[in-house]
Amino acid sequence: MSDIFQEVEEDVRRERFEKLWQAYGAYAIAGAVLLLLAVAGYEVWQRYETGQREKDAAAFTAAQDLRDPAAAAKVFADLAAKSGGGYTELSHLEQANALLASGKRDPAVAIYKDVAASDSGPIGSVARLRAAWALADTASRDDLQKLLQPLLGADSAWKQLGQEILAYSDFRAGKNLIAASEFNQLATDPQTPDGVKGRAQALASFISSGGATNVGTVPPPAPTPAPASPPGAPPAPAPQ
């Protein structure tokens, strides 16, 4: 008897499945097709993205090898406009570097500031520092302070790099005692990177030894006397 009940149950299941298939089979097929298309499209997009990143990386490396800063700036500007992802900001940063190297400070600083405003990560921080160094010889300390303020927090990894620029600004302005104190603090701060620490020690010693003292204008050398004329020679013409 159990076999008969099992056959009946299977017939009922088969009948239910056939009704469900008739009602929803087309939707199931369409869903399966859409799933396959989505998977295939994703794979194609991934391959495109990988290929594009490889092209961007090759173009970026080639531009870095250019020896002419003006030509490099144009290539990086083009790459920034066409590339995607991280290469956009990196290309802008390198474009600014090339412009600065070619003597075009103002447009370079403008790009640095744009990158710093649009990127809150390492690229933006580097751009902010480079803009400050580009302006360090001409901008006021207050302007540099405002530019560097986002990097000067107690927990910022860029704090000492920003403080070095401010100390240099004080040194450039002739505030030698203040600058020497700032450089000494950097030199003894355990969080200061080795490169900054070495420069800070050197400048602190330079200022403390009096190397930064203004001793006035060096006088011009005395004029060289004219050689004596030999006996019997006509006199030398008088200087005009």
Render pLDDT for 125-138 as a digit per residue (tens, 0 to 9): 999 999 999 999 99
Residue 24 covered by a domain: no
Render pLDDT for 198-207 as a digit per residue (tens, 0 to 9): 999 999 999 9
Render pLDDT for 74-107 as a digit per residue (tens, 0 to 9): 988 888 888 766 678 888 999 999 999 999 999 9
This prediction's pTM: 0.67
Residue 145 covered by a domain: yes
pLDDT confidence of residue 45: 45
Residue 222 covered by a domain: no
Residue 180 covered by a domain: yes
Residue 30 covered by a domain: no
Domain count for the chain, please give it.
1
Q: Which domain holds residue 205?
A: 141-210
Residue 90 covered by a domain: no
Burial 100-114 (b: 16+ CB within 10 A, else e): bebebbeebbebbbb
Residue 71 covered by a domain: no
Render pLDDT for 147-191 as a digit per residue (tens, 0 to 9): 999 999 999 999 999 999 999 999 999 999 999 999 999 999 999
pLDDT confidence of residue 53: 61
Render pLDDT for 21-72 as a digit per residue (tens, 0 to 9): 677 666 656 555 555 555 555 455 455 455 556 666 666 677 667 788 888 8
Residue 149 covered by a domain: yes
Q: Which long-range contacts (CB under 8 A, 24 or more apart) does 198-204 make?
A: 199/164, 200/164, 200/167, 203/167, 203/168, 203/171, 203/179, 204/180
